[in-house]
Structure 1
Amino acid sequence: MKNVSPAIKGLNVLLRKPKDSDVFDYLEVDISQELIRMYGGNTKRIAPKTLEKAQKFVQSIQENKLEWCVEYKGKMIGQARLTVSDIDNRARYAVGIFDSSVWGKGLGTEITQLILHYAFKELNLHRVDLRVLEYNKRAIKCYEKCGFIKEGVEREGALIDGKYETDVFMSILDREYYEIKDQFIKMILVG
């Protein structure tokens, strides 16, 4: 496996390691209750952002081998991560766009396509999977658009704001990716 996440440039986003200004980009964006809910957090106990928390957030991206800051129009708007298991040649995918002002622009789809291209073409993985809360319809639609297939659910496995919620498990295999990749490559890769 490669040691560090390389910069990956798409048409609209740049996936890269952190830089100093990311802390301030993160602090500049208000905390969204909807985002906290989509992450599975408690919306009744949202703590304010602090410089220390922002620094830890950005530092954790720096420390992870395959985690990227997502840059859009010169600002950090989120992060993406692959957690690779070398034993069985697979990875767990996670993405979060914390800046709600850019939701609905197709950036999640572009980010996911860039990561899948890297996972299958550069890392030669067999499988990429994820879990997503069933009520996160926007994310599920994005993942399906990128070729992920629903493979199961964990019924009421997450207690969120006092209510049990269901997680959906989704995955894409290398052969499935290679069947659809050509339709994405021209849309997402620059250079």
Structure 2
Amino acid sequence: MSSHLKLRPLERSDLRFAHELNNNAKIMRYWFEEPYETFSELTQLYDQHVHDVRERRFVAIDGNNEMAGFVELIELDYIHRRGEFQIMIAPDKQGKGYATEATLLAANYAFSVLNLRKLYLVVDVSNLAAVHIYEKCGFIKEAELVEEYFCNGSYHNVFRMRLFQHEFFAKAMQDNIQK
């Protein structure tokens, strides 16, 4: 993995940046959420979830020590050893490989620190760039969920994609051998 990007836990001081991204319609259409959230609501959500052991939220920091986006591991289930992965990269930071790096860093944390067995995500089938990034990181399509989300006046199909711990480590080992 590259050292261009680092993940650190989300702090209260990061909420202004999060608020800006959460109210960006271009970003939120891929999260299937309305880009409408007050700063007060976001702060309340942060306070409610900051100690929730079923969630881990990180800020992605680039080589210039600037916030590039967020990654989240949510719905963490320690009995079944699985969790959902989500990512949001700021528009001015897109196209620089940060999504790939952040995805790999989050997966490594999920599998090495939390000892999860499976990560999954849902992605709009029309978001070809994201699907490509996830596949590059080792995620595999499990299913297509038809008309799963309503956003911007229409229903959207999504892929549910997954990555197993053993597959992630095998791919990491293979990538290191090829270097």
**TM-score normalised by length of structure 2:** 0.81
Q: What is the count of residue pairs matched by the alignment? A: 174
Corresponding residue of 1:156: 147
Matched, 1:170 2:158: no
- Structure 2 counterpart SS, 1:112: helix
Matched, 1:127 2:118: yes
Cα 1:138–1:59, aligned 2, differ >3 Å: closer, same or farther?
farther
Q: Percent identity?
A: 26
1:130 to partner: Cα distance:
1.0
Which one scores higher on RCO, CA 8 angstroms, separation ≥ 6? 1
Trace 1:38-117 onto structure 2 (pairs within 5 A).
38-42=30-34, 46-47=35-36, 50-53=38-41, 55-56=43-44, 59=47, 62-65=50-53, 66-72=56-62, 73-83=64-74, 84-97=76-89, 99-117=90-108
1:21 to partner: Cα distance:
3.7
Q: Deviations over 1:40-79 (max 9, x none)?
A: 134xxx44x6543553465567344422122233233322
- Give the partner amino acid of 1:52: S
1:16 to partner: Cα distance:
1.3
Q: Pick from 137, 140, 150 the counterpart of residue 131 of structure 2.
A: 140
CA contact (8 A) 1:18 1:61 kept: no
- Give the partner amino acid of 1:62: V
| Cα distance between partner residues in 2 of 1:32 and 1:141 | 23
Q: Deviations over 1:104-124 (max 9, x none)?
A: 111111011011112222222
Q: Deviations over 1:128-151 (max 9, x none)?
A: 111111111111111000000011
| Cα distance between partner residues in 1 of 2:117 and 2:167 | 10
* Stretches of structure 2 lacking an aligned partner (at least 5 in a row): none
- Give the partner amino acid of 2:152: D
| Cα distance between partner residues in 2 of 1:175 and 1:93 | 17
| Cα distance between partner residues in 1 of 2:145 and 2:116 | 25
| Cα distance between partner residues in 2 of 1:61 and 1:76 | 21
RMSD: 2.9
| Cα distance between partner residues in 1 of 2:73 and 2:118 | 11
| Deviates most, 130-139 or 62-71 | 62-71
* Stretches of structure 1 lacking an aligned partner (at least 5 in a row): 1-8
- Give the partner amino acid of 2:112: K
**TM-score normalised by length of structure 1:** 0.76
